[in-house]
C-alpha cells in the first residue's frame, strides 16, 4: 500500500498522487540520491500478484529504460519492494494529447502534423532499438509546458498484451490495428496504424470507428473502410489526408514501412500541403493471384491451432477479453468461409460476368444521353450559365430527426456534417428529451457545417434556464448548477466581451429545459492575439528552418547565401527576427544560409635579396644559389637557380597566406699550398665542396 511520504527503494520519496490508469497509479516522487523529481508508476495489486505478468513487465520496462530520446518519456529505474512493483520515469509537466484535443475540439493541420512528426521521431528511436509500443493513442502522448511532445508507456503494452488483459485495462480498441484486433502478429507497422488513427482524431476531434462494445469497434477496424478526415473537416490539405489514409491501410504492406518514410512525408506536407506526393504501395499487383489448395488451408489451420496452444501453455492466469472472444467467433465464421465449392465458384464467375455486361450497357446508354445532350446544348444560342458558384458550396440533405432522442439527433446531424443547437420547451404530449421540431425540413438541402436549431421536449416539469450571459465563468456555473443543470464550456475570442465572461449560452435564457440537461456556455478568451513567437532557426538546415517557421505560423522571406567561418555550409547563420520575439502571424522571416568559409586568395609581390652574413656566413657573392618558394599549402611557386640578386617573385591567386623560400648553395673547403717543415718542399692540398641551405619566411598579401 502506497502512502504519501513513504520512501521506496531507499531513495524515492512519494510526494503526491498525480494520476491513475487501468493498470497502475502514478505518483510524483523525489529521487533523494539525484535530487530531482520523478514520476513513479506503481502496478495495481491485481497485476502485481500475477508473477507471469510481472516478469514480462519487468523485462519490457528494462528494455524501454535503454531508450533515451527527447520525444520519449524516459524510464530511469524498475524495481520491487514489499510486493510493490514500480517503474521510475521522467516527470513531464503538461497534459495528455487526449485532453489537449478535448480542450481545442480539433487541431489545425499544421499543429497536428507538427505533433505527429515529434511522436514519429520518438517511435522511430524505439523501433531502431527493436522496441514496439503496441498502444499508441492520445492518452499515451504528453505535451509538456514548453511544447515538447513525448510518448510514454513504452514496454508496458507488450507485457499487457502477452497476458490478455481485459479490455477495460488494456489500451482503447479505438486505436488498435486490424492485425492486433485479430490477435495476429504485430510489428512496427501496427504502431504506424495507431498513429494514423491518432492523427485522424487530432484533425477531426473524433475517432474514425465507434461502437457500443469493444467487439463492435474491433470488427470495424477489420472490415469497414477507413473514412477520410476530409469528410468531417473539408479544409484538411489533400497530402495530409493521403498520409492518414496510408497509415491506416488494412494491409500492413500497404502502409508506411517505417517511421523514416512517414516523417519525410509529414515534413513535405508542411512545405507543399496540396501536392500529391504520397505513394500507396499495392503488393497485390506485384504478383499473380492463385487459389489456396485444400492441403495448404489445412496446414494453415493446424499452425494457427498450434500457435494458440503454445500461447496458453506457461500462462497460469489468463483473463479473457471481449476482443479475445471475438477472435474465437471469427474462427468459427472463417471455418465455413474456407469450404471450397467448385460448382459455386463457376456460378459466381458467371454472375460476375453477367453483371459486368449489364454495367457496360448502362454506361454506354448514359454516355449517349450525356454527350448527345451536350451537342444539343452547343447548338442553342444564348448566354452560358456556369455552376461554379453552386459547386463551391457543399450541401447535404437534412435527415429526419423528429421524434428521436437528443443524442440520436446529434449523431444523425453530425454524420452528414451538420451541427446542432438545442432549445427546450415544455410539452405534455412529447416525452422529455425527444425532438419536437427543427428549423430545417426533412430532405431540405442545407449547407454543410450549418448548426440546426432543434426544439426538444422538457416534459411537464421543465426548469427555466437562467440568464448567464455577461457573467463570469464561476458565477455562470454556480447559477446553472444551482438550477439543476450540467454545464459544458466552449471558448472563443471576442472583441466586446472581457476574457472570462460568458459570450452566449445554449439553450437561451428564459427557455425551459429538464433538470440534468446540459447548458453550453461560450466563454470569452478576450481579444484575439494574432502575435506568434519567433522560433530559433539558427544552425538549422534551410529545409528544417522553413518547416519550423511554417509550424509557428510564419513563412520564410528572402534567402541569401553568404560566407561564414563560424557556421557550417548549408545551415542558417542569420534570421531577421530574433528568437523569442513576437510578430504578426504570417510574417516573413529573412534568413541567410552559410556557404562555409570564404575562399580567400593572396598575392606575392616580393624581391628576394641575396643571403645575408647572418643567414650564410660562408656564402660568397656571385655563387649560384638554387631558390624554391613553396606555399603553406604545398604549392611550388618558384624553382630556379641564379647568381644574380635581388630576384623578383610576383604571383597571384594563391590559396595560402604565406610560404617558405629555401636557399641552397655550395661552398669550397680546403685547397691551397703548404710547406713541409722537414723537407722544405711545397705541398698542394686537395679541395672539396659542400652543400649548404637555409630558409626564409615570406608572408603574402590578401587580394581584394
Q: How many CA atoms lie within 13 A of 187 on its CB side?
A: 11
> Is residue 672 left, alpha or beta, with left meaning phi > 0 and alpha meaning psi from -120 to 50?
left
What does the DSSP assignment read for 416-476?
TT-EEEEEEE--SSS-TTBEEEESS-TT-EEETTPEEEEEEE-TTS-EEPP--TTSBHHHH
| Main-chain dihedrals φ then ψ at residue 205, nearest 5 degrees | 80, 10
- Whether 135 sits among the annotated catalytic residues: the reply is yes
Among 186, 168, 167, 164, residue whose Cα is nearest residue 177: 186
CA distance 102 to 139: 11
**Eight-state DSSP code of residue 4:** T
CA distance 501 to 97: 27
CA distance 262 to 136: 15
Pairing label, strands 451-457, 419-425: parallel
Tell me if 221 sits within 8 A of 179, measured CB to CB. Answer: no
Pairing label, strands 673-675, 682-684: antiparallel
Q: Pick the catalytic residue from 135, 153, 191, 265.
A: 135
CA distance 217 to 661: 85
Helix (H), strand (E) at residue 16: strand 12-20
> Is residue 580 left, alpha or beta, with left meaning phi > 0 and alpha meaning psi from -120 to 50?
left
Q: Is the dihedral of CA 425, 431, 434, 436 positive or negative?
A: negative
Cα 21 to Cα 43, 172, 590, distances in angstroms = 10, 12, 48
- Contacts of 537-540 with CB under 8 Å at 24 or more apart are 537/572, 537/575, 537/579, 537/589, 537/591, 538/567, 538/572, 538/573, 538/574, 538/575, 538/579, 539/567, 539/571, 539/572, 539/573, 540/571, 540/572
Known catalytic residues?
135
Amino acid at each position: 500500500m502506497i502512502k504519501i511520504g513513504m520512501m521506496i527503494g531507499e531513495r524515492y520519496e512519494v510526494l503526491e498522487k498525480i494520476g491513475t490508469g487501468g493498470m497502475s497509479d502514478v505518483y510524483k516522487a523525489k529521487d533523494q540520491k539525484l535530487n530531482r523529481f520523478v514520476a513513479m508508476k506503481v502496478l495495481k495489486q491485481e497485476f502485481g500478484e500475477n508473477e507471469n505478468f510481472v516478469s514480462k513487465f519487468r523485462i519490457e520496462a528494462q528494455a524501454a529504460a535503454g531508450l533515451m530520446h527527447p520525444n520519449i518519456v524516459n524510464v530511469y529505474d524498475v524495481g520491487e519492494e514489499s510486493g510493490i512493483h514500480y517503474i521510475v520515469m521522467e516527470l513531464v509537466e503538461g497534459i495528455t494529447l487526449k485532453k489537449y484535443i478535448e480542450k481545442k475540439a480539433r487541431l489545425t493541420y499544421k499543429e497536428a502534423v507538427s505533433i505527429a512528426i515529434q511522436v514519429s521521431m520518438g517511435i522511430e528511436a524505439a523501433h531502431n532499438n527493436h522496441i514496439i509500443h503496441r498502444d499508441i493513442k492520445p492518452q499515451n502522448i504528453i505535451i509538456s509546458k514548453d511544447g515538447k511532445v513525448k510518448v510514454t508507456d513504452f514496454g508496458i503494452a507488450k507485457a499487457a498484451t502477452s497476458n490478455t488483459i481485459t479490455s477495460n485495462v488494456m489500451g482503447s480498441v479505438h486505436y488498435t490495428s486490424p492485425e492486433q484486433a485479430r490477435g495476429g502478429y504485430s510489428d512496427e507497422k501496427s504502431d504506424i496504424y495507431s498513429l494514423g488513427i491518432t492523427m485522424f482524431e487530432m484533425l477531426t476531434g473524433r475517432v474514425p470507428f465507434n461502437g457500443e462494445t469493444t467487439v463492435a469497434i474491433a470488427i470495424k477496424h477489420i472490415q469497414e473502410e477507413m473514412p477520410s478526415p476530409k469528410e468531417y473537416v473539408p479544409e484538411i490539405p489533400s497530402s495530409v489526408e493521403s498520409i492518414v489514409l496510408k497509415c491506416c491501410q488494412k494491409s500492413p504492406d500497404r502502409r508506411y514501412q517505417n517511421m523514416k518514410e512517414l516523417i519525410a512525408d509529414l515534413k513535405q506536407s508542411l512545405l507543399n500541403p496540396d501536392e500529391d506526393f504520397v505513394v500507396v504501395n499495392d503488393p497485390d499487383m506485384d504478383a499473380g493471384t492463385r487459389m489456396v489448395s485444400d492441403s495448404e488451408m489445412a496446414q494453415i489451420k493446424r499452425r494457427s491451432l498450434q500457435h494458440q496452444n503454445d500461447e496458453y501453455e506457461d500462462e497460469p492466469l489468463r483473463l479473457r477479453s471481449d476482443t479475445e472472444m471475438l477472435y474465437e467467433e471469427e474462427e468459427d465464421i472463417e471455418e465455413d468461409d474456407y469450404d471450397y465449392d467448385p460448382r459455386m465458384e463457376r456460378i459466381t464467375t458467371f454472375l460476375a460476368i453477367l453483371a459486368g455486361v449489364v454495367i457496360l450497357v448502362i454506361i454506354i446508354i448514359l454516355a449517349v444521353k450525356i454527350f448527345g445532350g451536350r451537342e444539343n446544348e452547343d447548338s442553342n444560342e444564348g448566354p452560358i450559365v456556369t455552376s461554379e458558384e453552386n459547386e463551391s458550396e457543399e450541401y447535404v440533405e437534412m435527415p429526419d430527426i423528429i421524434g428521436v432522442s437528443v443524442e440520436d439527433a446529434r449523431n444523425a446531424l453530425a454524420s452528414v456534417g451538420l451541427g446542432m443547437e438545442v432549445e427546450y420547451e415544455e410539452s405534455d404530449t412529447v416525452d422529455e428529451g425527444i425532438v419536437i421540431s427543427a428549423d430545417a425540413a426533412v430532405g431540405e438541402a442545407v449547407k454543410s457545417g450549418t448548426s440546426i436549431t432543434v426544439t426538444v421536449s422538457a416534459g411537464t416539469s421543465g426548469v427555466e434556464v437562467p440568464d448567464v450571459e455577461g457573467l463570469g465563468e464561476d458565477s455562470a456555473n454556480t447559477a446553472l448548477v444551482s438550477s439543476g443543470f450540467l454545464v459544458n464550456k466552449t471558448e472563443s475570442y471576442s472583441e466586446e466581451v472581457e476574457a472570462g465572461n460568458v459570450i452566449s449560452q445554449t439553450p437561451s435564457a428564459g427557455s425551459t429545459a429538464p433538470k440534468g440537461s446540459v447548458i453550453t456556455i461560450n466563454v470569452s478568451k478576450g481579444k484575439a492575439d494574432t502575435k506568434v513567437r519567433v522560433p530559433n532557426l539558427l544552425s538549422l538546415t534551410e529545409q528544417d528552418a522553413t518547416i519550423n517557421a511554417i509550424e509557428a505560423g510564419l513563412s520564410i522571406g528572402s534567402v541569401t547565401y553568404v560566407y561564414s567561418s563560424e557556421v557550417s555550409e548549408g545551415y542558417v547563420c542569420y534570421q531577421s527576427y530574433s528568437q523569442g520575439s513576437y510578430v504578426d502571424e504570417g510574417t516573413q522571416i529573412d534568413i541567410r544560409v552559410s556557404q562555409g568559409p570564404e575562399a580567400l586568395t593572396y598575392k606575392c609581390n616580393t624581391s628576394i635579396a641575396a643571403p645575408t652574413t647572418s643567414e650564410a656566413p660562408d656564402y660568397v657573392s656571385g655563387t649560384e644559389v638554387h631558390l624554391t618558394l613553396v606555399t603553406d599549402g604545398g604549392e611550388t611557386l618558384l624553382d630556379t637557380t641564379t647568381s644574380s640578386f635581388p630576384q623578383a617573385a610576383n604571383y597571384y591567386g594563391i590559396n595560402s597566406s604565406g610560404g617558405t623560400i629555401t636557399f641552397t648553395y655550395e661552398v669550397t673547403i680546403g685547397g691551397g699550398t703548404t710547406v713541409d717543415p722537414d723537407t722544405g718542399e711545397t705541398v698542394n692540398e686537395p679541395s672539396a665542396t659542400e652543400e649548404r641551405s637555409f630558409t626564409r619566411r615570406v608572408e603574402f598579401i590578401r587580394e581584394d
